[in-house]
Each structure stands twice: as C-alpha cells, then as structure tokens.
Structure 1
Amino acid sequence: MNLVLLTTETLHHSWFLRELSRRHPVARVFVETETLRPAYETAHPFEAERDEHERALWFAKGGERLSDHGDTMAFPSLNAESAVAALRQTRPDLAVVFGTGKLSQAVIDACGGNILNLHGGDPEEYRGLDTHLWAVWHGAFDQLSTTLHWLAPELDTGAIVGRRPILLTNGMTLAQLRAANTRVCLQLVEDALDGWVGGRGIPAQPQARRGRYYSFMPTALKQVCVRRFAMFSGAMR
C-alpha cells in the first residue's frame, strides 16, 4: 500500500507518524507550513504546557520532527500546484489528513479520491476549528470525541468511518487533552488501514446532520475552558 500523510509540523503529529509507521509504513509526508491567522489574539499559556507535556511524554530521546520518522516534502499550502503535482507523482493508494487547512478538489483528485481525514470532535455537532475547545466551552464533555471520515469538498462533511470518545481521567488538565486525543486518532486510523490492507475496505456512513461551523477560539475564552476543564476533571479543587 502506497500510504501518504498530509499534516503540519507539531509534536503530536510527529508522534502519530512515528507510531503509525510501526504497523503501516508511510511512503511520504506532505507538510503544510503556512496556516490561517485570525485577526484577533488566540495564544494561551496552556498551549506551551501542552507542548511540554507531549515532549516529556513522547520524546525523551528526541525525534520531535516529522522528518525524523519519514520522507517529508514541505509546501506553504498543500493546495499549491507544486504540492498537487508532487502528490500525483507519488501516486498514493490512500492518504490520511491530520491537521491541515481545507484541501481542494485538486488534492482529492491527486489522491484518487481516497483521502481519510481526522477531525477533532463530532462533525455532526462541531465543524471547523478548535472543536474540542468549543465543546469544553459549551460544557459538552460527553462530546469530546474524535472522528475519522472520508474527505469531502465541503469542510468536515464526509461519510464517517469511525468515531470514538477521548478517555478523560481524574485530575487531567486541558494541556493533556491533545495527547489523549492523538492516541484515539492513531487507533481509528490503524483500524481503518487494517481493513484496507485486509481486503475488507473502509466502510462508512453518511453524516445525518451538518454540525455548526466554529472558527478560532479567542484567548479569553480559552482561559475559561482551562478552568472549566479542570473543574470537570477534578484538577481544580
């Protein structure tokens, strides 16, 4: 199987690639280097804590970069003609998307239509960006889940391959949520690839409804989420 990963350079994506490659070798990693920037402030200190947590958890011996675990090609946008041409040249049997911007029909076509996307949440409730944070903001802790779906031209609307809740533990902080989510991402993709390789295909169900679209969460609301998550998990007594 000629498998490719479309992603961005983060600690949790590097861990995902490292672990996925143990069972399903990734032929090439396409890295998007430029991301959308909102016109308002979104940074929050918990994000630095999140990176410290993941670095200590997964990279005590180094290997933090995607290039440490696979053949990478970087492009400002994966929708660029050069990126699409490189995808066509790679001729993937299947692609997995984890954390890129919205991808064009040209990208989908370059992968033969066989693109799976990881969405941090339930797209029938939350589409778009920072969806786990928006679930926390709404107090919907039972909706903290991860979904694997086929990529469709309209954002987060493709047929659902699998959806699993994120394991929330006593005393957990918001800075630890991304790592827990990434473990679920790996499980969902490994199950799908096992079916593909085993000749069972990757069955999926169309979405029953279209969730609300959310954009970047502002810094002030993230502060509220940090507190609400800690109160829910028992980290704040």
Structure 2
Amino acid sequence: MQSPRLTLVTGNDLRHEYFIRRINARHPVQSVFIESKNYPSLPSTTTEAENAWHWFFQRRKEYEEREFAPARNWPGVNHPVYEPLQPGGLKREGFLEKLQCAAPDLVLLFDCGLVGEPIINAFPGRILNLHVGLTEEYRGSSCNFWPIHDERLDCLGATILKIDPGIDTGAILAKDTVNIETGDDEQSLIGKTIKLGVELMERVLKQWQSGDWKAHTPESPGVLFQRKDLGPEAMLTVRRLVEGPRWQQLLAQHCG
C-alpha cells in the first residue's frame, strides 16, 4: 500500500517538532509549514497568579526538553521542505497556491491557526486536525489544560477530525482518552494527550492507506475555549490543585 503524500502545518515548539518527526519517521512528508505565534502579553494580575503563570511554562519547557527533544535524532523517510508562516498566515493570500503546488494527498494540522474556506474547498475531506482534547467536550484552544483546571481528568484525550468551517466541529475519524497514573502531574498529562494524538494520526493514516477510514458526526458540540481565556488566574487554579492534597485523590479516582 502506498503511503499518502503529506503536507504538515504546525507550530515551532518542541511538541510540534515531535509531531513532524514522528509522522515523517513512518510516512513521506513532502512539505512542512511552520506558523509562528504571537502570544498575548501577560495581563496585569496578582503576584501569586503571575508566579503561577511562569511556574507553568517553566515546567512545560522542562517536560518538553525531556520528552520531545530526543525526536530531533529520529531518522525520517523524507527530507521535507520547510517554510515559515507569519501568524495568521493560513488565511493570507498565497498560502493556498503553495499548498496546491505541494499537491498533497492529505494536509495534517496540529496546533495552528484557523484554515479559511477557500483551502477547505480546495482539499475537501483531506485536511485533518490533531486536536489535543475531546471535541465533544472541549473545543478550541488549550483543550488539554481545561480538563485539568475543571478536575475532569476523564476528558483528557485527543481527537483526529476532518476540518470544516467551524472550530473543531468536523467529523471525527479517531478519538481516545489518556491513561492516568498516580505519578502524573499537569505536564505529563498534557504531554500524554500530544503523544496519543500522534498515535491516533498514525492510525488514521493507515486506515487511509487501506481505504478503511470512517468518520462520524460529533454527538455534542463541546465547550469552546479561546486563547484569551487562558490567563494567570487559570494557571493559579491548576498550581493550587497540583500542589494541594486534592491532586492525589483526583489521580486515584481516574487511574486504571
């Protein structure tokens, strides 16, 4: 069975490099578009909340260096062409033409901006998104953070879906939840959703090869979160949870 020609669209952090390297270790990736992001400045808040913000991102950096940086040494099937994109570049004039020149069988998205309808129409049913969350519960941004914040660890998972004009509202090709262990913290749980998402994407690619992929309509729309919703106060809530007595109780409830 012939592997699909792939174009990837993702970000420029270690988790994104892990995604690229893992897919290209098994399938020929022809081109990769790397979208840079403009993160909002830290809003005015309490010192405790600001400290929690820095606490979270420092811990994320340490986790990703440990878990995702080794992917840089993985051999690849292909030597894809890399091209940078400015923030919002997926909707800018010229991006569609670049995609069409790459002539992919499938376009795979992970943690990037919204795709406009002209691109969706040009590749009907062939643009897939790796969503680190369960779209029927959490849609939009940071959907592997909010279940922790909300103490809904059973909603930590990943979904592979076909892109449509909505935000994470497309037909679902694969979904699953992560395995929770007593030694987990917020970063390991978030990391597990990324690893699971890549595994699910690989499963979907095999189904495409065999002509056996099936999609179903989401049963519920899920709650929509935007990037602006993720602020220091939310980080503080998670820090207090992880460092407090409730955390081990919560893990124990969801283990196995």
In structure 1, the partner of 2:220 is: 209
How far apart are residue 63 of structure 1 and its match? Answer: 5.8
Letter in 1 for 2:33: F
Match of 1:23 among 5, 22, 26: 26
Match of 1:5 among 3, 8, 17: 8
| Residue pairs, 1:76-225, within 5 angstroms | 76=86, 77-200=89-212, 202-215=213-226, 216-225=229-238
The runs of 5 or more residues in structure 1 that have no matched partner are none
- Could you tell me whether the CA contact under 8 Å between 1:136 and 1:229 is conserved in 2? no
How far apart are residue 130 of structure 1 and its match? Answer: 1.6
* Distance (whole Å) between structure 1 residues aligned to residue 132 and residue 158 of structure 2: 5
SS in 2 for 1:45: helix
Q: Give the direction of change, closer, same or farther, for the CA distance of 1:61–1:182 in structure 2 (3 Å limit).
A: closer
- Could you tell me whether the CA contact under 8 Å between 1:170 and 1:235 is conserved in 2? no
How far apart are residue 177 of structure 1 and its match? Answer: 2.6
Letter in 2 for 1:29: V
* Distance (whole Å) between structure 2 residues aligned to residue 102 and residue 187 of structure 1: 23
- Could you tell me whether the CA contact under 8 Å between 2:18 and 2:71 is conserved in 1? no
* Distance (whole Å) between structure 2 residues aligned to residue 213 and residue 36 of structure 1: 19
Q: Give the direction of change, closer, same or farther, for the CA distance of 1:233–1:25 in structure 2 (3 Å limit).
A: farther
The runs of 5 or more residues in structure 2 that have no matched partner are 45-49, 252-256
How far apart are residue 178 of structure 1 and its match? Answer: 3.0
* Distance (whole Å) between structure 2 residues aligned to residue 61 and residue 209 of structure 1: 35
- Could you tell me whether the CA contact under 8 Å between 2:18 and 2:72 is conserved in 1? no
Match of 1:34 among 7, 32, 37: 37
TM-score (norm. length: structure 1): 0.87
CA-based RMSD: 2.6
Letter in 2 for 1:174: E
SS in 2 for 1:47: helix
* Distance (whole Å) between structure 1 residues aligned to residue 65 and residue 183 of structure 2: 20
Aligned-residue identity in percent: 27
Structure number, greater radius of gyration = 2
Letter in 2 for 1:141: L
* Distance (whole Å) between structure 1 residues aligned to residue 241 and residue 116 of structure 2: 36
- Could you tell me whether the CA contact under 8 Å between 1:116 and 1:148 is conserved in 2? yes
Q: Give the direction of change, closer, same or farther, for the CA distance of 1:70–1:52 in structure 2 (3 Å limit).
A: farther
In structure 2, the partner of 1:49 is: 59
TM-score (norm. length: structure 2): 0.81
Q: How many correspondences in the alignment?
A: 232
Q: Give the direction of change, closer, same or farther, for the CA distance of 1:93–1:208 in structure 2 (3 Å limit).
A: same
SS in 2 for 1:28: strand
How far apart are residue 211 of structure 1 and its match? Answer: 1.3
SS in 1 for 2:25: helix
In structure 1, the partner of 2:247 is: 232
Report the more deviating stretch, 150-159 or 177-186. Answer: 177-186
* Distance (whole Å) between structure 2 residues aligned to residue 127 and residue 38 of structure 1: 23
